[in-house]
Structure 1
Amino acid sequence: MAMFDPSLLSWLPFAVPVLLLAYYIVPFVTTNRALASIPGPFSAKFSNIWLGLSARSGRKFAAVDWAHRKYGKIVRVGYNHVSIADERALQTVYAHGNGFLKDTFYEAFVVGTTGMFNTRDRIDHARKRKIMAHAFSPKSVGEFEPYMKSNIERWVAQLDRKTLYPTRNGFAEYDAMPWFSYLAFDIIGDLAFGNPFGMVEKGRDEVEAQLTHGGDISITPAVEVLNRRGEISSTLGLLPALRPVAKYLPDPFFTKGVEAVANLNGIAVRAVAHRLDGMESGEKKAAPRNDILERLINGKDANGNNMGRAEITAEALTQLIAGSDTISNTSCGVFYWILHGERARPGSILPQLQAELDAAIPEGQNAAAYAQVKNLPFLKRCIDEGMRLHSTSAIGLPRIVVNKATEFDGLHFPVGTVLSVPSYTIHHLEEIWGPDVDEFKPERWLDLTQRQKMAFNPFSYGPRACVGQNVAIMELQIILGTIFRRYDFELYQQVLESHEGFSKKPKECHVGIKKRGA
């Protein structure tokens, strides 16, 4: 019988560095040689560790922006990943027919069954998008408004209560960020699952979750869970070797992050089960709802097939994430920048915005109607400028070159190269937006250059662009139109600090609020 030779252990301290060196160096001098001339952080030439650690810290957008400002327009941010801070690259990387696929990065966002957001298969994506496009048709979007309105009215009632207890020059001080989150969660709960989560009424971050269909029901902090899920999935998407062992690592970021992934899926499982179980028992047959979940349940693909429960849950989870995280972060970001713009140039923003809203929305109306705000030009300019400056979708969404190589500005990118265009960076390039790039100026949208039109990318671009962007704009217009018609605000913080999971989230937004005319 063969015996283990203990002397082999003496080679271990030498073998490990050699193996690691081979793991990182061999691809550098073989597979990825074509990228050798592209500048970037030194460690990024060999691995994704630099980018992964940036995601781990919640500052990937800022790290990539720093790299572009140091190294230039085209930067190597990973061993096979090139970031291009040029609006022309949006067409190259994301347009219809370019043949690129979503990178393996998105596999870290899959829980059980793929959804439209994280599927990498073109045929699967086209099938899912056909069903989802029906759910977000113009007719469907119009039918969502009553659900938005009822939740905004409950939210306004809570804000009204805050105004009763002024603490500073007649204003009641509070952190607006959590309340934007509560509202966004309740609205998407109503639209995607059939009922609001009740976060606005409770004024707390908690919802019901069910890890498996038929399992125990628990209470989980949805906003916290969503934030952790974005952080962990973005990090593990860049460092896939850690995925199998993440829950065992001695770092709460990973252990709590893996737990958050399961809990967030549990929220969708519980909410979908509540609706489907009721339908299967006959409780809901008499009163179908005109919401997203109803369209997912009844939607059919090109072959006339419906989605199964697991797929409906995956798509509902996608809508939960997109409809809560992006809306809460964007509405708070735009809200902050409107107030910041007014503080920087007193009398230049709020008087014009409130005069426009006063003329469109009758006094005493609790929530703006979409018809009243959808064509207000100054409100739209404020929202666009706020989305540019905050850039909720700040990262460069990674696409992998497949089938054949591609080129940009004379550089050759072979099959297997990952390309991305960082929205935050192209939204903050002085050469595109001018020397006042960091200022909130809605008037810049009156006369956009062609470069500026191309560079504005809040909802991505091409066949993978956000299918729900019309709902998002509608929601932003109603929310912001309502609060600036109803309240006066004072801004109590100098800068809007953000933390990035998959999207960029304001950490806090301290303001004073009082009813107008009070």
Structure 2
Amino acid sequence: MYGLVVGVASLSALTDIYGHGTPCNKDLFYSTLSGTHFNLADCVDRAEHARKRKVLSTAYALKNLESWEHKITDKVAMMIKQFDRRCTNPLKPGERPCPADLTVDYRAWTNFFTMDAIADIGLSEHLGFIVAGSDDIVGEKLNGDTYTTSYRECLHATLDAQSHLIWAYDWYKPLSKLSAMLSSQYSRWFKLAGNWDGVVYHRATKRLVRYQKGEKLDDFFQALMEDKNGKPNNLPWGEIVAEMSVMLNAGSASTAIAINNTMYLLLKHPSALATLRAELSTVLTDHDEVVAYDQVKHLPYLRACLDESMRILPPTTFGLPRRTPAEGHSINGDYIAGDTSVSISAYVAHRDEAVFIDPECFIPERWLGEQGKELQQYFIAFSAGSRGCIGRNISYLEQVILLATMLHRYEFALPHPEWVPELREHFNLVPGPLPVKVWRRENYDA
């Protein structure tokens, strides 16, 4: 009998744990946190996961996502209007922004962006967060009563509560009830978690009404209801709501974190920022406002900056747990007994000095050329293998368009050169506010 075992293995263990064909399955972690119906992320059964992925794979394919580019670019246009209103006078060389000039919390605004974008892509719903500058949203109880709550606060509270208690799988549910009774903090978290369920339920039921009225809308909800030939999928309503929940959760949170972190790291590394802007200037003009995906999707340094940001600060930092088969499994040449939870943290894996030279340094150039192609096998910001994140294409699509547009149109400055953000970990590594001064770039006449 073994207690807690912590092992350190080389990155070759990635394939053994997460790769295509691995006998390791998703851990009890996922089924413990699931609701009445599994979604694509928490589904443990392989056959069921394959069925779900088949239903959604066409919708998540890059070619199909590019046809939804307008659902992203119109949100970027809204961001431009808000940022233009908050522009200040240019910062003089050597000066620090005064507090009154830190008019933008880049973290909050980019989260408004991803929440608005995924709601449109998934449900053809316009939440209006960017226009309002607020994430207040309506939720609905099962009895039909409605309430107003904060999208981000509900989502973060859910993850906070779960991440503290989940690791004792057999005790998770009783611990949750006990914690809510004895702790005002946990009581608040679980109340907000219930609010999140109502937010998702309200969105899904509103979209169902539109579907039942005969609206044929091009979104993920439609893909859940019918296949590409219009044949009904006949999925249980609980399964559809579960898929909407994980889409609105993962589809907004992790991408917003990545967008925020990339801006922060570029502002901390002016030479990399200058290199990226020089690359953007080869395909964009002063008259380009919202950048088109076709203009920038093949720019190598732009993609390198995104990947390097997610290497240093992966949005999901904890090791996604897998379980070895009953007969055991060889991982990195070592036999691991059956029914054992195994995982690799992206935060740790991305700092392996044997793979990533100067791992604590922001070096986008490492992802260029043949060297960059070789490193991709060790990049697990989106996990890996058949259970890897199905939404990575949409994440890159949003990141590329927004970052290119923002950097082409504006200058940004942190409060001071030594400034660092607050970071808080639950399942994700969540950054705090990113206050910046913003002003229009010179020679930009759009």
Q: What is the TM-score with the length of structure 2 in the denominator?
A: 0.90
Asked if structure 2 preserves the Cα contact closer than 8 Å seen for 1:228 and 1:501, the reply is: no
Instruction: Work out the CA distance in 1 between the residues paired with 2:90 and 2:332.
Output: 58
Instruction: State the superposition RMSD in angstroms.
Output: 2.4
Report what 2:220 is aligned to: 292
Is the CA contact (8 Å cut-off) linking 2:137 and 2:151 kept in structure 1? yes
Q: Which has the higher contact order (CA 8 A, sep 6+)?
A: 2
- Equivalent of residue 356 in structure 2, options 408, 416, 433: 433
Residues 409 and 296 (structure 1), Cα distance of their counterparts in 2 relative to 1, 3 Å cut: closer
Q: Which residue of 1 aligns with 2:14?
A: 90
Match status 1:231 vs 2:165: no
Q: 2:340 is aligned with what amino acid?
A: T
Structure 1 residue 331 and structure 2 residue 331: aligned? no
CA distance in 1, matches of 2:109, 2:303: 22
The 8 Å contact of residues 106 and 120 in structure 1, kept in 2 or not, is answered as yes
Secondary structure of 1:311's aligned partner: helix
Tell me which of 139, 144, 147 is aligned to 1:215.
144
The SS at the match of 1:310 is helix
Aligned position for 2:245:
317
CA spacing shift, 1:206–1:353, aligned 2, 3 Å = same
Q: In the alignment, is the contact (CA less than 8 A) between 1:131 and 1:300 conserved in 2? A: no
Picking from 138, 142, 148, the partner of 2:72 is 148
Aligned match for 1:477, one of 394, 400, 414: 400
Contact between 2:88 and 2:101, CA under 8 Å: does it hold in 1?
no
8 Å Cα contact 2:367-2:373 kept in structure 1: no
> Hey, what's the Cα distance between the residues in 2 that align with 1:154 and 1:305?
35
Counterpart mapping for 1:106-185 below 5 A: 106-163=30-87, 168=97, 172-185=102-115
1:419 positional shift? 0.6
- Partners of 1:422 and 1:437 in 2: CA distance: 15
- Distance of aligned partners of 1:233 and 1:300 in 2 relative to their CA distance in 1, 3 Å threshold: farther
Following superposition, the deviation at residue 341 of structure 1 comes to: 1.4
Asked if residue 375 in structure 1 is aligned to residue 298 in structure 2, the reply is yes
In structure 2, the residue matched to 1:50 is: none
Q: How far 1:166 sits from its partner (Å)?
A: 8.0
Q: Unaligned 5+ residue runs, structure 2?
A: 92-96
Cα gap change, 1:85/1:150 in structure 2, threshold over 3 Å: closer, same or farther? farther
Contact 1:86–1:421, Cα closer than 8 Å, also in 2: no
Corresponding position: 1:384 with 2:307? yes
- How far, CA to CA, are the matches of 1:184 and 1:394 in structure 2? 20
Distance in 1, matches of 2:86 and 2:9, equals 43
Q: 1:465 to 1:372 in 2, by over 3 A?
A: same
Cα shift readout 1:221-276 (whole Å, capped 9, x = no counterpart): 11111111122222332123142242442223422232232222211111111111
Secondary structure class of the residue paired with 1:433: coil
- C-alpha separation in 1, matches of 2:204 and 2:366: 44
> Do 2:17 and 2:331's aligned partners in 1 also have CA atoms closer than 8 Å?
no
Count the aligned residue pairs. 430
Residue 353 of structure 1: which of 268, 271, 276 is its match? 276
The 1:404/1:497 distance shift into structure 2, 3 A limit, reads same
Query: 1:468 Cα shift?
Result: 1.3
- Give the 3 Å change call, closer, same or farther, for CA 307–366 of structure 1 in structure 2: farther
Per the TM alignment, residue 469 of structure 1 is displaced from its structure 2 partner at its CA by: 0.8
Could you say which residue in structure 1 is the equivalent of 2:421? 496
1:200 paired with 2:130, answer yes
Judged with a 3 Å threshold, the aligned counterparts in structure 2 of structure 1 residues 377 and 182 are, in CA distance, closer, same or farther, namely: same
Q: Does 1:511 align with 2:436?
A: yes
Q: Give the structure 2 partner of residue 69 of structure 1.
A: none
Tell me the percent identity: 28
Please report how far the alpha carbon of residue 432 of structure 1 lies from its aligned counterpart in structure 2 after TM superposition.
2.0
Deviations 1:198-228 (A, max 9, x none): 211111121111132x621211111111111
Give the AA of the match of 1:264: W
Q: Displacement of 1:184 after TM fit?
A: 0.7
Task: Give the TM-score of the pair, scaled to structure 1.
Answer: 0.78
Counterpart among 15, 18, 27 of residue 103 in structure 1: 27
2:137·2:149 contact (CA, 8 Å) conserved in 1? yes
Deviation of 1:336 after TM superposition, in Å, equals 0.7
Secondary structure of 1:220's match? strand
Relative distance call for 1:216 and 1:362 in structure 2 (3 A) is farther
Letter of the 2:398 partner, please give it.
Answer: E
- Are the aligned partners of 2:9 and 2:332 in contact in 1 as well (CA < 8 Å)? no
Are 1:456 and 2:386 an aligned pair?
Answer: no
3-state DSSP of counterpart to 1:431 = coil
